[in-house]
Amino acid sequence: MKRIEIFANRSVQDEVLKGLEETITDFYYTLIPVVNGRGKSEYRLGTAVWPEENFMVISYINDGDAAKAAEIIQGVKEQFPGEGIKIFFLNGEP
């Protein structure tokens, strides 16, 4: 089992979730709709100076679905090359 964490600009939230829900059977997740911080290229703080915000998705998926999730995220990255989109895979076993 893998834990996936996805961080991305809120502008691509629908594409990310739709792609994962349509591709991975029984894709269950927790959505944190507003995530502020600083990435490699810029701040996302939801302020007048740095108005953009990110979202975060956390999910536990079967090992066999990890490649599917990576493929979906890569497709969204290609569709929206200017948006920050990251996926992280962690061991989901205790």
Tens-digit pLDDT profile for the chain (94 aa)? 999 999 999 999 999 999 999 999 999 999 999 998 887 778 777 777 777 899 999 999 999 999 999 999 999 999 999 888 999 999 987 6
Burial class (CB in 10 A: 0-12, 13-18, 19+), 20: buried
Burial 39-60 (b: 16+ CB within 10 A, else e): eeeeebeeeeeeebbbbbbebe
| Domain parsing of the chain, residue ranges | 2-91
Name the pTM for this structure.
0.90
Kindly state the tokens that stand for 58. Answer: 């956390």
pLDDT of the residue at 23: 97
What pLDDT score does 94 carry? Answer: 64
Fold of 2-91: Alpha-Beta Plaits (3.30.70)
Tokens read off for 63: 């090992």
